[in-house]
Structure 1
Amino acid sequence: MVTLGRAGVAAGALGAPAARAAARRLLIRATLADLPSAPEQKKVPLFVDFAEEFWTDYSPHWKPSTRTSSRSRIDQLLIPHFGELPVDMIARSDINRWRDTMTKREGSFNRTIPIMSVMMQYAEKLGYRAKSTNPCRGVSRFKRELPERYLSADEYRRLGRVLASHEFANPFVIPALLMFVYTGARASEITTLRWRYVQIPRLALPDSKTGPKTIYLNRQAIDVLNGLDRRADDQLVFPALHREIPIDLGQHWIKIRRKAALPDVRLHDLRHSFASVAIAKGIPLATIGKLLGHALPETTARYAHLADDIILESAERICSSLAGALGIAA
């Protein structure tokens, strides 16, 4: 009989994930005991140690915002669960067990599993795992009903009245929000905008969530920019008060949406609403995708049902007119 370790919470106790991994190692060794010795392989680290090696090599290639969020997820979600496991012993069953523990944090799991998958791929490249053994491959994400909130014409009017009357100590708050409304850009694309990117009638962003991006400016957005004093090319268009750092639109939006009686409207919903208005005006989905900077058509396709609703409404109006002409309208 082989003893792997002590159970319980005492010092030296072996957790269930580590025990399963150790058992797998023993079974492999027993199976290969009578076979000729293979060349000595690279020592495989525990996941907690590999995480630091991965971070040192890989994270410099991520954007700062990605590094911040990924570091948090590695430390808070991955290391506590997989930290004591050797990297080569993490199996699909371990990933599925972790998924089962995340049923109340579905969004966190969906955002973290891609990080784990990249880490496992990198472990293969370093020789810590056999090729094509990524345990994350094929593990399904949680299906979530993402909230969709679109502003109505009346809600736009309420928002417009507040933006026209509200005053902030920082004079860049209202112009920044108007740019967000008029362009459908991501909030980060507006808050980090620098004057050298402003090439009217467009914004030429060297980087965005989907890489380099051109934002095409309508007359209203151009008027907003023309109403500002152009500063040095390297300076932010919408800085924070008294500091050359990006303005925090989210903080100010909370006050504005309450004053407009729109407490459930998130800042990102203004981007969704931009798309819904475009569809109502008959603009094709492909064009809307280019305006929003979507890298994949599938991303824009989430708005397809809005187009269907508009077509159905048009069909009903036509049929109502025809029925009236026939004298059989209700």
Structure 2
Amino acid sequence: MVTLGCAGVAAGALSAPAARAAARSLLIKATLADLPTAPEKRRVPLFADYAEEFWQDYSPHWKPATQRSSRSRIDQLLVPRFGDLPVDMIERGDINRWRDSMAERGGTFNRAIPIMSVMMQYAEKLGYRVKNTNPCRGVSRFKRELPERYLSASEYRRLGRVLAEHDGVNPFVIPALLMLIYTGARVSEIATLRWRYVQPPRLQLPDSKTGPKAIYLNPQAIAVLDGLERRGDELLVFPAMRREAPINLGQYWDRIRRQAALPDVRLHDLRHSFASVAIAQHIPLATIGKLLGHALPETTARYAHLADEVIAESADRICSNLANAMGIAA
């Protein structure tokens, strides 16, 4: 039995409203007594401590190359910047100030903020942050002018002459470069190609930058592969000279491009040039995206301006022919 105050006007007496409120409070407590209580809120760690917890949970799901680059950015950029802040106290203003401080290193910021964003999302799942409070969401990245170099017909001819005359130490260099030119593949995809992936009329890669991928082989690419001795299925198609390791085309490319008077052409520009030639042949962007293995249409859209140029040139030719047919000077 519970007594609330005392009757009359003695000290400690309760008014009727106060007594009713006290009674309701006791009833509520009695009703909830046997129900499970809400768990205590997890102690929110400092960002530096959370970074290790995040790494242990999340990094095993990344590829080795992603692990290496992400670990470096966490240690060198994120922890020094946010390490002393509790995870739940990092706000949009902190991210914006970080962005402003990276104005001279825009590319570095652009590569680091996706990692920070993933870390904040995971913090929400662990209960360290309120849901939907990711401070990285909507933060603009630095715009970068990425140089894209496309080889012209005359430049392809110069390159072809140099490749035909090249007499290097490693006999796999020229075949590997020809595969880049003929397929538009990424350098890493050709350098790490193994014979079991060669399944004409395609290369069936179990993994790539965008996941499993098929690279379609044209007759020229098939001829390059047919000219090589097919070794064991697990061996590399284009190994380094002295050991069974992926060929490093970069160390040979500088000399070759200089001999072809193309000092500004990067290996990756061979992939861009593959796309530009395809567009000149009126191949749809969607098809080019499949040939290049783009995961998103937006990636292929970077070549849309080339398609516009081809269409404009075609329109000019058509109109010129029409004007000539009507006897009107163009």
1:319 partner amino acid = C
Provide the rounded CA distance (Å) in 2 between the counterparts of 1:126 and 1:216: 44
CA offsets per residue over residues 176-206 of structure 1, 9 Å max, x none? 1110110001111111111111101110111
1:129 aligns with 2:129: yes
Normalised TM-score (structure 1): 0.86
CA offsets per residue over residues 245-283 of structure 1, 9 Å max, x none? 111112221221111111111111111100110111111
> What residue is the counterpart of 2:141 in the other structure?
141
CA offsets per residue over residues 74-117 of structure 1, 9 Å max, x none? 12221221122111111111000000011111111111111110
Provide the rounded CA distance (Å) in 2 between the counterparts of 1:69 and 1:309: 38
The SS at the match of 1:243 is coil
> What residue is the counterpart of 1:81 in the other structure?
81
Provide the rounded CA distance (Å) in 1 between the counterparts of 2:211 and 2:45: 34
Provide the rounded CA distance (Å) in 1 between the counterparts of 2:243 and 2:74: 32
Provide the rounded CA distance (Å) in 2 between the counterparts of 1:252 and 1:92: 46
CA offsets per residue over residues 13-63 of structure 1, 9 Å max, x none? xxxxxxxxxxxxxxxxxxxxxxxxx96422222212211221122111111
> What residue is the counterpart of 1:67 in the other structure?
67
The SS at the match of 2:245 is strand
Provide the rounded CA distance (Å) in 2 between the counterparts of 1:166 and 1:72: 39
Superposition deviation, residue 220 in structure 1: 0.7
> What residue is the counterpart of 1:249 in the other structure?
249
Provide the rounded CA distance (Å) in 2 between the counterparts of 1:271 and 1:277: 10
> What residue is the counterpart of 1:292 in the other structure?
292
Superposition deviation, residue 324 in structure 1: 2.6
Give structure 1 regions of 4+ aligned residues with deviation exceeding 4 angstroms. none
CA offsets per residue over residues 212-240 of structure 1, 9 Å max, x none? 11111001110111111111111111111
Aligned-residue identity in percent: 80
> What residue is the counterpart of 1:225 in the other structure?
225
> What residue is the counterpart of 1:25 in the other structure?
none
Provide the rounded CA distance (Å) in 1 between the counterparts of 2:293 and 2:73: 27
> What residue is the counterpart of 1:318 in the other structure?
318
> What residue is the counterpart of 2:105 in the other structure?
105
Provide the rounded CA distance (Å) in 2 between the counterparts of 1:53 and 1:172: 45
Provide the rounded CA distance (Å) in 2 between the counterparts of 1:314 and 1:304: 15
> What residue is the counterpart of 1:94 in the other structure?
94
1:317 partner amino acid = R
Superposition deviation, residue 323 in structure 1: 2.2
1:118 partner amino acid = V
2:232 partner amino acid = A
Say if 1:212 and 1:39 are closer, same or farther in 2 by CA, change over 3 A: closer
Provide the rounded CA distance (Å) in 2 between the counterparts of 1:191 and 1:216: 17
Provide the rounded CA distance (Å) in 2 between the counterparts of 1:250 and 1:57: 35
> What residue is the counterpart of 1:12 in the other structure?
none
2:222 partner amino acid = I
The SS at the match of 1:134 is coil
1:238 partner amino acid = F
Provide the rounded CA distance (Å) in 1 between the counterparts of 2:283 and 2:235: 35
> What residue is the counterpart of 2:192 in the other structure?
192
Provide the rounded CA distance (Å) in 2 between the counterparts of 1:128 and 1:168: 58
Normalised TM-score (structure 2): 0.86
> What residue is the counterpart of 1:216 in the other structure?
216
Q: After TM superposition, list the pairs within 5 Å mapping 1:1-12 onto structure 2.
A: none
Provide the rounded CA distance (Å) in 2 between the counterparts of 1:232 and 1:39: 58
> What residue is the counterpart of 1:51 in the other structure?
51
> What residue is the counterpart of 1:303 in the other structure?
303
Of 191-200 and 317-326, deviating more is: 317-326
> What residue is the counterpart of 1:154 in the other structure?
154
2:285 partner amino acid = L
